[in-house]
C-alpha cells in the first residue's frame, strides 16, 4: 500500500507541476494583451482630460517605457504561445485533456503577440528623430518640385505653394520667404527642437 500511495502522490505532483507550468505559459502569453489594453485606456483617459500624449517618445517617459516593456513581453509572449502549441501537441498525442485548447490558444497568441511586438517597434521607429528628419527632407524635396513648376509658370517662387506638405503625422513644411531667385522653407514638428530649414539657393537643409 505505501508503494501505491507514493506512486499516486508522484503522479499527482507531476499533474500539479504540469498544470502550474501551463497556467504560467498562458499567463505570460496573455500578459501583453493586458498591457496593451492598459496603455490604450490610459491614453484615452489622458486625452479626455485634455492631456494629449506627446508625439515624440523622448518627451513622454511613461508612454515610451510602457511601449518598451510591451516590446519585450510581446516577443516573450509569442515564445510562450509556441510552447503552448508544443505542450498541446504532446497532450493530444498522449490522449491527455486540454490538448486541443492549448494548441488553439498557442496558435492565436503566436501571431497576435508578434503583431503587438511589430506595432510597438514601429511606434518607436516612427517617432525617432532620425525618421522624423528623413521625413522632413522628403517633404522639402516634394516642395522643391512644386516650387520649380511654379517658377517655370510664373517666373518666381511662391510663399504660398499649393498642396499639403505634412510629414510624420503632425509635421508640416512651411515657406518662410520666397522671391524670384530662391526660397526658404522650415520644417515644423514637436520632435524637431531647433530650426530645420531648406535654402533653395544652397539646395541643402540645415
What percent of the chain is modeled with pLDDT above 70?
Answer: 91
pLDDT grade for 205, boundaries at 50, 70 and 90:
low
- The pair phi, psi for residue 184, each rounded to 5°, is -125, 130
How many H helices and E strands in the chain?
4, 5
3-state secondary structure of 172: strand
Query: 34-45: per-residue pLDDT in tens?
Result: 999 999 999 899
Measured from the Cβ of residue 51, the count of other Cβ atoms closer than 10 Å reads 10
Of 123, 111, 130, nearest in space to 66 by CA: 123
Q: Are 147 and 153 in contact (CB under 8 A)?
A: no
Position 204 scores a pLDDT of 57
pLDDT at 161: 92
Reply yes or no on whether the pLDDT at 1 is more than 60: no
Angle at 86 between CA 36 and CA 23, to 5 degrees: 50
State mean pLDDT over 119-137. Answer: 93
What are the cell numbers at 144? 522643391
The average confidence (pLDDT) of the chain is: 89
More confident residue, 203 or 191: 191
Give the per-residue pLDDT at 107. 96
If you average pLDDT over residues 98-104, what whole number do you get? 93
Range scoring the smallest mean pLDDT among 9-23, 67-81, 119-133, 136-150: 9-23
Q: How far apart are the first and last CA of the chain?
A: 87
Question: Mean pLDDT across the stretch 131-142?
Answer: 95
pLDDT in tens, 168-178: 989 999 999 99
pLDDT 10s digits, 112-123: 999 999 999 999
Amino acid at each position: 500500500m505505501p508503494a501505491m500511495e507514493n506512486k499516486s502522490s508522484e503522479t499527482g505532483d507531476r499533474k500539479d507541476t504540469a498544470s502550474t507550468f501551463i497556467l504560467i505559459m498562458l499567463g505570460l502569453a496573455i500578459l501583453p494583451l493586458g498591457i496593451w489594453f492598459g496603455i490604450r485606456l490610459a491614453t484615452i483617459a489622458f486625452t479626455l482630460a485634455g492631456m494629449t500624449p506627446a508625439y515624440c517618445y523622448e518627451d513622454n517617459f511613461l508612454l515610451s517605457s510602457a511601449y518598451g516593456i510591451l516590446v519585450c513581453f510581446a516577443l516573450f509572449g509569442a515564445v510562450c504561445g509556441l510552447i503552448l502549441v508544443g505542450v498541446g501537441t504532446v497532450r493530444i498525442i498522449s490522449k491527455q485533456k486540454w490538448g486541443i485548447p492549448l494548441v488553439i490558444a498557442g496558435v492565436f497568441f503566436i501571431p497576435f503577440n508578434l503583431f503587438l511586438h511589430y506595432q510597438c517597434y514601429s511606434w518607436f521607429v516612427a517617432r525617432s528623430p532620425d525618421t522624423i528628419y528623413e521625413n522632413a527632407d522628403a517633404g522639402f524635396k516634394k516642395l522643391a518640385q512644386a516650387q520649380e513648376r511654379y517658377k517655370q509658370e510664373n517666373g518666381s517662387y511662391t510663399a504660398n505653394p499649393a498642396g499639403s506638405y505634412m510629414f510624420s503625422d503632425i509635421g508640416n513644411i512651411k515657406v518662410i520667404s520666397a522671391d524670384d531667385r530662391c526660397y526658404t522653407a522650415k520644417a515644423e514638428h514637436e520632435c524637431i527642437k531647433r530650426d530645420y530649414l531648406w535654402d533653395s539657393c544652397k539646395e541643402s537643409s540645415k
